[in-house]
Amino acid sequence: MATAPTKGEEKEAENPLASGLERLPIRPTTLTIFGATGDLARRKLLPALYNLAHEGALPERFNLIGASRSEMADEEFRKQARESIQQFSRRATDAKVLDALLEGVRYVSGSFDDPGLYERLGTAIEECDEQAGVEFNRVYYLSTSPSFFAEIVKQLGDHGLDHHEKSDVRVVIEKPIGTNLREARELNAAVLDVLDEEQVFRIDHYLGKETVQNVLAFRFANGLFEPIWNRNYIDYVQITASEDLGIGSRAGYYDASGALRDLVQNHMLQLLTLLCMEPPVSFSADEVRDEKVKVLHSIHPPRPEEVCEMAVRAQYGAGVVAGEDARGYLDEEDVPADSATETYAALRLEVDNWRWAGVPIYLRTGKRLARKVTEIAITLKPVPHLAFQQEGAVGVQPNQIVLTVQPNEGASISLGAKIPGTRMRIRPVNMEFLYGTTFMSESPEAYERLIMDAMRGDATLFTRDDEVEAQWTIVDPILEGWGAEAGPIPQYESGAQGPEEAERLLEPDHRWRAI
Amino acid sequence: MTASALEGGVWSAQDTSPSEVESELRGLLRERHAQSDAFVPARVLNLVVIADREWRGEIQNRLERVGRYHASRTILCAVEPGRKAIDGWASVTAPRSEGGSGAIVVGQEEIVLDIGSHHLEHLDSIVDPLVVTDLATLVWSPHGHPEAVDALLDLAQVVLVDSVDEPDPAQAALRAGRLAERAYVVDLAWLRSAPWRERVAGTFDPPEWRDDLSRISAVTVRHSPVSVIAGMLFLGWMAVRLGWQPGVMVSHGVALQGTAHGRHQDVTMRLEPDEAMSTPGFAGLTVETASGMSLSLDRGPGGLSARRTDREGRESRWTVMGASRGEPGILGEGIRQALLRDKSYGPALAAVKSMVAA
Position A5 scores a pLDDT of 46
Q: Which residues contact A187 (CB under 8 A, 6 or more apart)?
A: A146, A149, A150, A177, A178
- Kindly report, residue by residue over A460-470, the tens digit of the pLDDT: 999 999 999 99
Which residue from A9, A100, A441 is facing B319, i.e. has the nearest CB? Answer: A100
Q: Which residues of B touch A58 (CB under 8 A)?
A: 321
User: Are the C-beta atoms of residues A102 and A65 closer than 8 Å to each other?
Assistant: no
Position A432 scores a pLDDT of 87
- Kindly report, residue by residue over A433-450, the tens digit of the pLDDT: 888 788 766 677 889 999
User: Average of pLDDT values for A473-500?
Assistant: 92
Gap between the Cα atoms of B268 and B257, Å rounded: 7
> Shortest Cα distance from B276 to chain A (angstroms)?
21
pLDDT above 60 for B8? no
Gap between the Cα atoms of B115 and B80, Å rounded: 6
pTM given for the model: 0.90
Q: Which residues of B touch A456 (CB under 8 A)?
A: none
> Shortest Cα distance from A474 to chain B (angstroms)?
34
Q: Which of A56-60, A65-69, A188-192, B354-358 has the lowest mean pLDDT?
A: B354-358
pLDDT above 80 for A102? yes
| Secondary structure (3-state) at B136 | strand
Burial class (CB in 10 A: 0-12, 13-18, 19+), A277: buried
Interface confidence: ipTM more than 0.85: yes
pLDDT above 50 for B1? no
**What are residue B161's DSSP bridge partners?**
B187
Q: Which residues contact A430 (CB under 8 A, 6 or more apart)?
A: A412, A413, A414, A415
User: Any idea what DSSP says for residue B143?
Assistant: T
- Kindly report, residue by residue over B219-274, the tens digit of the pLDDT: 999 999 999 999 999 999 999 999 999 999 999 999 999 999 998 899 999 999 99
Gap between the Cα atoms of A508 and A181, Å rounded: 33
Tell me what percent of the residues of chain B surpass a pLDDT of 90.
80
Position B102 scores a pLDDT of 66
pLDDT above 60 for A6? no
Which residue from A22, A54, A440 is facing B323, i.e. has the nearest CB? Answer: A54
> Shortest Cα distance from B148 to chain A (angstroms)?
27
> Shortest Cα distance from B85 to chain A (angstroms)?
34
Position A12 scores a pLDDT of 60
Q: Which residues of B touch A55 (CB under 8 A)?
A: 322-323
- Kindly report, residue by residue over B142-198, the tens digit of the pLDDT: 999 999 999 999 999 999 999 999 999 999 999 999 999 999 999 999 999 999 999
Please give the single-letter amino acid code of residue B224: S
Which residue from A27, A438, A442 is facing B43, i.e. has the nearest CB? Answer: A438
Position B123 scores a pLDDT of 96
**Residue contact B207–A8, C-beta within 8 A:** yes
Selecting among A267, A297, A300, A385, the annotated active-site residue is: A267
- Kindly report, residue by residue over A274-328, the tens digit of the pLDDT: 999 999 999 899 999 999 999 999 999 999 889 999 999 999 999 988 788 999 9
Q: Which residues of B touch A8 (CB under 8 A)?
A: 207
Position A393 scores a pLDDT of 64
Residue to mutate among A10, A12, A17, with most B CBs inside 10 A, is A17
> Shortest Cα distance from B24 to chain A (angstroms)?
22
Question: Has A267 been annotated as catalytic?
Answer: yes
Gap between the Cα atoms of B288 and B299, Å rounded: 18
Which residue from B99, B106, B210 is facing A15, i.e. has the nearest CB? Answer: B210
Residue to mutate among A3, A49, A437, with most B CBs inside 10 A, is A437
Tell me what percent of the residues of chain A surpass a pLDDT of 90.
76
**Residue contact A13–B210, C-beta within 8 A:** yes
**Residue contact A25–B205, C-beta within 8 A:** yes
pLDDT above 90 for A67? yes
Q: Which residue of chain B has the CA closest to A101? A: B321
